[in-house]
Amino acid sequence: MNRIAFIFPGQGAQYAGMAREFYDTYEESRRVFEEASEVAGFSIEEICFREDPRLDETKYTQPVLFTASCAILRAVEAAGIHGDMTAGLSLGEYCALSAAGAIDFADAVRVVCHRGCFMEEEVPSGQGAMTAILSRRAIPIEKICEETEGIVTVANYNCPGQQVISGEKDAVDRAAASLLEAGAARAIPLRVDGPFHSPMLKGAGEKLEAFLKDIKIESPRIPYISNVTARAEQSPQRMKELLGQQVYSPVRWQQSMEYMIREGAEVFVEIGPGKALSNFAKKIDRSLRVYHVETVEDLKELGAISERGEL
């Protein structure tokens, strides 16, 4: 049997109607939405399934996207497909914690609700920005960020040829222009309303770490890879510290993928809206077998592959 890694997308992947098919089709998925709404104190379904402007407000985006991905995860697990290791990009790390059995679902909803609020309150909307930098050749992205006036740093190492910069909006714009001059192919502003994974959010990360002190986190049942260290973490106390740091530290996604590959992962299953992580995986290692579960049809196809013993 091949070792399977479950991977989960982060903020920016959300769209109206995500996971609706699973809500309508699987009792396990419906219960996830119902429990999340009860814990959050507002209707996750209302924001998720309709054209609702709150879907792009961080304090709502995070619990809604987390819930949608977990609803799909529960249907995948109910189909008898389980991961041997797991990781998630930024917010997706909480789905990975859930998949690894390290945190109770209701507690995870509480955490992501507070995480979104802390992040939104730390930097008012419009003051920060994130831009993806695409390049076909090596460019000194860290050096250019350091030389740019204002706060701007590398926020994500996604895959070869794609990093994300984050910080003050004007500084991000200036750095993006300099990177294009240095040879970057494209600079694409991201659909987020804050300077995530930048020093501007250190206060939010410290508040989150303080909040996590009262949340029960257990050693994961399967290897769970941290965004901050790009390696498996087992200590609950260390995991809480890293989850706080993750808010204002770079997401080392490419390094996390490479770690899982070294640990024997041969099959990657992206669970949740969008195919960003699947695309990253192919750019990291074209030999990987990568599947994506976003729709009920996707799950049926994956189930058929599993039944044939091809996972």
Strands (E), the chain: 3-8, 85-88, 128-134, 152-159, 162-168, 186-189, 265-271, 289-293
Which listed residue (98, 114, 135, 197) is catalytic? 197
Establish whether 178 is a catalytic residue: no
Q: How far is Cα 138 from Cα 27, in angstroms, rounded to an integer?
A: 48
- What is the rounded end-to-end Cα distance, in angstroms, of the chain? 7
- Measured between alpha carbons, how far is 193 from 191 in angstroms, rounded to an integer? 7
Point out which residues pair with 130 in neighbouring strands.
Answer: 166
**Which residue, among 302, 282, 265, has the nearest Cα to 85 in the 3D structure?**
265
Q: DSSP for 188-212, please give it.
A: EE-S-SS-TTSGGGHHHHHHHHHHH
114: annotated active-site residue: no
DSSP secondary structure letters along 106-153 = HHHHHHHHHHHHHHHHHS-TTSEEEEEEE-SS---HHHHHHHSSSSEE
Neighbours of 117 (CB within 10 A): 18
Q: Which of 37, 90, 178, 249 is catalytic?
A: 90
What is the Cα 116 distance to its own chain's centre?
13
Of 51, 62, 68, 46, give the one whose Cα is nearest residue 12: 62
**How far is the C-alpha of 61 from the C-alpha of 42, rounded, in Å?**
12
Contacts of 72 (CB under 8 A, 6+ apart): 19, 22, 29, 271, 272, 293, 294, 299
Q: Which residues are catalytic?
A: 90, 197
